[in-house]
Amino acid sequence: MPNYLLYLAIIIPSIFISLGIALYVFQERLIFHPETLSLKYEFRFEQPFEELFYTTDDGNKLNAILFKADSPKGLIFYQHGNAGNLEYWGARAIDFTQRGYNVLMYDYRGFGKSTGKIKNESMIYADALMIYKKLLYDYKERDIIVYGTSLGTGIACRLAHENNPKLLILETPYFNFFDVSKFHYPYLPNSILLHYRFKNNKLIPEINMPIYIFHGTEDKTIPYNSSLRLAKLSKKVKLFTIQNGSHSNLNTFHFYHEKLDEILTQ
């Protein structure tokens, strides 16, 4: 065998093995992109809000913001995406408060002012469930809507599957986390290496409340096809397709607001 072929025979497998090891060991760094904030940081939003902290079972603090509507008719429990913090995501609250809903947003471990580190999928869900149960002291479950966007759709689906909120709304959801990781890293053995599963496709057929999905046709992060396939799994699902919408701009489209009006006035 010529030397250059021998070199390729060694180096190419080595690259794939190295990438696989990196995905397995450092996948939290690949999946989550938090931006931290000082505990002294003061949020400023152009609507009434209250800053809160929730204590996890292992003693960490999760920072949250309750955005307040006039004469609220319920609450949106919002699970955000895999990057940024409440300073960024809080701008979305107006979409719901102006329609008469309070909004509770929180930062995952390591995001914003929240302490701790994300170590596994079960931890993420346990934190969300802890907050959900505390919300039931102040809100009737039939008045709570669970909303998830991007990464947060996996958390939102599981909350809806194991509880009884009024509605489930998903923005740019993935079929499951393996599916989206395969989309971004098609040449790696994701089924072996990936710790995070977020099996939306397994949960949605068993969810009993109405499910509304928003997805843009030009989404390059989570393909629109993911929502097409999810919509086929249950008669409870209604898919709203936003033509030319990408991953992070759906609320800039009139169609999004038109359909959100329909959902939140029922």
How confident is the model at residue 21, as a pLDDT? 54
Residue 23 and residue 193 in contact, taking contact as beta carbons nearer than 8 Å:
yes
How many CA within 13 A on the CB side of residue 207? 31
How confident is the model at residue 8, as a pLDDT? 47
How confident is the model at residue 123, as a pLDDT? 97
Q: What is the mean pLDDT of residues 231-236?
A: 97
Please check the confidence at residue 1 and state whether its pLDDT lies above 80: no
How confident is the model at residue 24, as a pLDDT? 54
Strand partners, 102: 75
Domains in the chain, CATH or no CATH each: 32-264 (3.40.50.1820)
Please check the confidence at residue 95 and state whether its pLDDT lies above 70: yes
Q: Hey, what are 243's tokens?
A: 């033509």
Percent of the chain with pLDDT over 70: 86
pLDDT digits (tens, 9 = 90+) for 128-148: 999 999 999 999 999 999 999
How confident is the model at residue 2, as a pLDDT? 59
pLDDT digits (tens, 9 = 90+) for 17-59: 455 555 555 678 878 999 999 999 999 999 999 999 999 999 9
Cα–Cα dist 131/251, whole Å: 26
Please check the confidence at residue 183 and state whether its pLDDT lies above 90: no
Identify the residue with better confidence: 190 or 15: 190
How confident is the model at residue 182, as a pLDDT? 74
For the chain, what is the mean pLDDT? 90
Residue 200 and residue 176 in contact, taking contact as beta carbons nearer than 8 Å:
yes
The pTM assigned to this predicted structure is 0.90
Please check the confidence at residue 186 and state whether its pLDDT lies above 90: no
How confident is the model at residue 68, as a pLDDT? 97
How confident is the model at residue 265, as a pLDDT? 85
Please check the confidence at residue 12 and state whether its pLDDT lies above 50: no
Cα–Cα dist 89/111, whole Å: 12
